[in-house]
Structure 1
Amino acid sequence: MVQATVALRVDVDTRRGLEEGAPRLLELFRRRDLRATFFVTMGPDRSGRALRRALRPSFLRKMWRTNPFKLYGLRTLLSGTFLPAPLVGAGLPALLRQIAAEGHELAPHGWDHVGWQDRVHRLGRSAIRDDLESAARAFKAAVGVAPHASAAPGWRTSDAALSVQDALGFRYASDTRGDAPFRPKVADGVLATLQVPTTMPTMDELLGRVPDIPGALLQAVRPGLNVFTLHAEVEGGHLLTAFEAFLDALGRSRVRFARLDDVVDRLRAAADETPIACVVRGSVDGRSGWVAAPGWTRWHAMVAPR
């Protein structure tokens, strides 16, 4: 039987997530001798602007279900509107260096998280390049090395964004939801940058929809590669206890843990033929709006067990 591998991907979207949630997760990982992959938004925390999505029924349903005041806090929900937009990764370089020093993989999660998530499908190549290069410059200034990977905010990307990103020469990217690594195909041809999708539901997608979040996530683990994305604001905050329970369940199941760069190394060493797919828009149960995914994705693999 093929052993299950779980790669823990930590997205840090907000200043509060980096300042408060990330240290809690670092302590948890230190205690359990676990290594994860951290993707950190480098630029301004404009989370308050996400409230413009309130006109969407799906967004309102998510807000009602998840209680954003508990998950994110009032300061985050007002950042970039009634409160100034503090820099996330670029504003806390010492904490980024600590993450890397403790053995975790570290890479950018874009420059302006809300701006990218809301507008990437309308942005031209120049604006896309500005965002990616701003994040890369800030990352190098903070930790002293150029980024080797990237993850698109909100799992949203476009053919233009994929092409611009490909020219930056990252070893891999994690911009999509799906069930297996692949190489994207765009109008200009097949891109070199390997995509490693998030394969599992997230806790905030399950919150208010299933009675036992750790149990539902354990049911979603399958043989082979599983990429679980957690958020420093969520699992490093209100859902920390639930996340610990999930880790306990994974430990009892004897899964193998890995960083995403370790996964990529093994994929390259195996020299297996990497699937190729166009990137399309899809939806995930419990998440508002669209996400990017390979065209052949079996969407039922990404929804919560019922």
Structure 2
Amino acid sequence: MAHIVLKIDVDTLRGTREGVPNLIRLLESAHARATFLFSLGPDHTGWALKRLFRRGFLKKVTRTSIIEHYGFKTLMYGTLLPGPDIGIRAVNAMRAVAKEGHETGIHTWDHVYWQDNVRMSDAVWTKRQMKNAYTRYIEIFDTSPVTHGAAGWQMNAHAFRQIDRWDMKYASDGRGNAPHYPIVDGQRLNHVQIPTTLPTVDELIGINGLDADGVLEYLLTLTINVEKDHVFTLHAELEGQKLAPLFSKLLTGWTDQGYSLVAMEDYYSTLDLKKLPAHSMVWGRINGRAGELILEGATPTL
């Protein structure tokens, strides 16, 4: 049976408190399991407004109704309002995920700060941000995190190597076609990258007039070949709130197509690690998303 890995990015306080419980209910109804990746420190979502000057971002804001999905108050965090500490204010919602049997992992410490700065940051900056998230995760869950999924698919070489130092067996930090070992600065690392393979809802909605029903139909068309595994990234702020009906229909559609809906750890356990290729990590663009992000590159000869 082919798999669709459900990877849930949780970016904000509102998404953690409101979107996460909704997603737990939807997953339970579909008998599905998922990986929830948490932002564990301050919510500075308002800092993202400076991206209005980035190519493609204003267009994305317009077509995805960002104010409606995130809420006006959330968009003021870090500007007119102080950024609340998500790991303190929403600890019960996070623990409920583990209690319900879903996998949990690290998304980031400060979502916007990481996404806007990590690419050009040094080892000291990167280690500090990742250590903050790692320490807070242990405080919340009383165990070490087993996986990582970068905010905005933004990474640097130091961050990839830190995942190895944490002895994580797998992570999902970029976009691509299939699981692989990452090559960074010419070195093959030890952990497996499980990249997001499907476009996200916010990359599709509003493109060529696609509404929620159009996005549903398009995604189900992409997964009609049930011999291929996929990784789908969703957001607690979107599919956990206004777009919950769309996600519910996606779960039903994928089940009807014959997929097993699983968490990252479930999928990792099925992989033949000795047969996985190694791919370089490169920067590139994805349709519907502003700026560059980490992609699975060509397979080099080592």
TM-score, normalized by length of structure 2?
Answer: 0.93
**Hey, what's the Cα distance between the residues in 1 that align with 2:158 and 2:47?**
24
Q: CA deviation at 1:59?
A: 0.3
State how far apart, in whole Å, the 2-side matches of 1:193 and 1:107 are.
Answer: 15
Deviation larger for 70-79 or 28-37:
28-37
1:86 to 64, 76, 84: 84
Counterpart residue number, 1:201: 199
Match in the other structure for 2:219: 217
> Does 187-196 or 149-158 show the bigger shift?
187-196
For residues 180 and 188 of structure 1, the distance between their equivalents in structure 2, rounded to whole angstroms, comes to: 20
Aligned to 2:263: 259
Structure 1, 250-259 or 274-283: larger mean CA deviation: 250-259
TM-score (normalised: structure 1): 0.92
One-letter code aligned to 2:59: R
Q: Does 1:231 align with 2:235?
A: yes
- SS in structure 1 of the partner of residue 125 of structure 2: helix
> C-alpha deviations, 1:145-168, integer Å up to 9, x for none?
011111110011122221233222
Instruction: Kindly provide the CA deviation profile for residues 189-212 of structure 1, in whole angstroms up to 9, marking residues without a partner as x.
Output: 211111110110111111111241
- What code does the residue aligned with 1:238 have? K
In structure 1, the gaps of 5 or more residues are 298-306
CA spacing shift, 1:286–1:272, aligned 2, 3 Å: same
Displacement of 1:188 in angstroms is: 5.7
- Corresponding residue to 1:278 among 280, 283, 299: 280
Letter in 2 for 1:9: K
State how far apart, in whole Å, the 1-side matches of 2:221 and 2:114 are: 32
State the alpha-carbon separation in 2 of the partners of residues 8 and 286 from structure 1: 20
Q: How many residues align?
A: 293
- Residues 271, 175 of structure 1: CA spacing in aligned structure 2 closer, same or farther, 3 A cutoff? closer
Q: Residue 298 of structure 2: SS of its match in structure 1?
A: coil
Which aligned segments of 4 or more residues in structure 1 are displaced greater than 6 angstroms?
none
Preserved contact between residue 39 and residue 108 of structure 2 (Cα < 8 Å) = yes
Q: Judge conservation of contact 1:7–1:226 (CA < 8 Å) in 2.
A: yes
Give 2:242's aligned amino acid. H
Contact 1:8/1:257 (8 A) holds in 2: yes
Aligned partner of 1:303 in structure 2 is: none
Which runs of 5 or more residues in structure 2 are unaligned? Answer: none
Residue equivalent to 1:54 = 52
Aligned 8 A contact 1:90 1:139 in 2: no
Partner of 1:135: 133
Give the distance between the partners of 2:280 and 2:256, measured in 1 at CA: 37
Would the aligned equivalents of 1:121 and 1:157 in 2 still touch at CA under 8 Å?
yes
Bigger CA drift: 49-58 or 217-226? 217-226
Q: Counterparts in 2 of 1:20-59, with a 5 A limit?
A: 20-59=18-57
After TM superposition, give the deviation of residue 108 of structure 1 in Å.
1.1
CA distance in 1, matches of 2:71, 2:203: 18
CA offset at residue 93 of structure 1?
Answer: 1.9
